[in-house]
Amino acid sequence: MRLRDQVALITGGLNGLGRETALVFAREGAKVAVCDLASDGGELVAAIRAAGGECHYIPADVSDFAQVQSMVSQVVEKFGKIDILINNAGITRDATLLKMTEEQWQQVIGVNLGGVFHCTKAVAPHMVEKGRGRIINASSIVGLYGNFGQTNYSASKAGVIAMTKTWARELGPKGIRVNAVAPGFIATDMVKKMPEKVLQTMAEKTPLRRMGEPRDVANAYLFLASEEAEFINGVVLSVDGGLTL
């Protein structure tokens, strides 16, 4: 159990990559705190507890710093510490530049970039106090290479990479490792609703000839959060099946 007695806070944890990460971390011995927008995290909390794990759910909008501060305070009060922060929360509001509205731009930047800043800003002091911590940020291959119709999303994920490298420099001397994961095409429930022809094209573009599964990203989070990655800091780990080669 690679995360025994560790406390992990996972944002955007009720669905997709966040949900799988919460399940994997709990199986590896972590006490899991999950944040999302829903009023309660009933099904996930029940699933983790039924498997013998420990899970606490807190509703919060990561784009609102006051809500984030309250959430972090509740986690520390509940578990006494936060060892691992997974900045996983993210949204899309796709449109080409000429059609993108100001609202679409602000919403994505507010959650995907502002949310990562808010959560790290609130959690980092607790890690600094203990002289140890791991922060893992969800970026994307589009943050490295851009993508048609995703000006806002690409910009937010590129910003996450820049923050990751900056914080790795700033927080590394304080015992805190900061890394990012850049997923490729991942078969989440949302993605699976796309037309079969589109899904097939995505798979064919990937050298491994399949889309990624949520567990592929969760396992990358797990590795970076574990002691096995103790000398890894400031990296962007692509989990894309070789798509960007």
Segments of the chain assigned E as strands: 7-11, 31-36, 54-59, 84-87, 133-138, 176-183, 236-239
Q: Which residues of 99-117 are buried (b: 16+ CB within 10 A; e: fewer)?
A: ebeeebbebbbbbbbbbbb
Helix (H, G, I), strand (E, B) or coil at 84: strand
Q: What is the pLDDT of residue 75?
A: 98
> What CATH number labels 7-238?
3.40.50.720
Q: What is the pLDDT of residue 189?
A: 80
Give me the catalytic one of 57, 145, 153, 221.
153
Q: What is the pLDDT of residue 143?
A: 96
Domain ranges for the chain: 7-238
Q: What is the pLDDT of residue 42?
A: 81
Q: What is the pLDDT of residue 202?
A: 85
Residue 149 CB-density burial (10 A; 0-12 exposed, 13-18 middle, 19+ buried): middle
Q: What is the pLDDT of residue 197?
A: 87
Known active-site residue 145:
no
Would you give per-residue pLDDT tens digits along the chain (245 residues)? Answer: 999 999 999 999 999 999 999 999 999 999 999 999 999 998 999 999 999 999 999 999 999 999 999 999 999 999 999 999 999 999 999 999 999 999 999 999 999 999 999 999 999 999 999 999 999 999 999 999 999 999 999 999 999 999 999 999 999 999 999 999 999 999 988 778 778 888 898 899 999 999 999 999 999 999 999 999 999 999 999 999 999 88
Report if pTM > 0.85.
yes
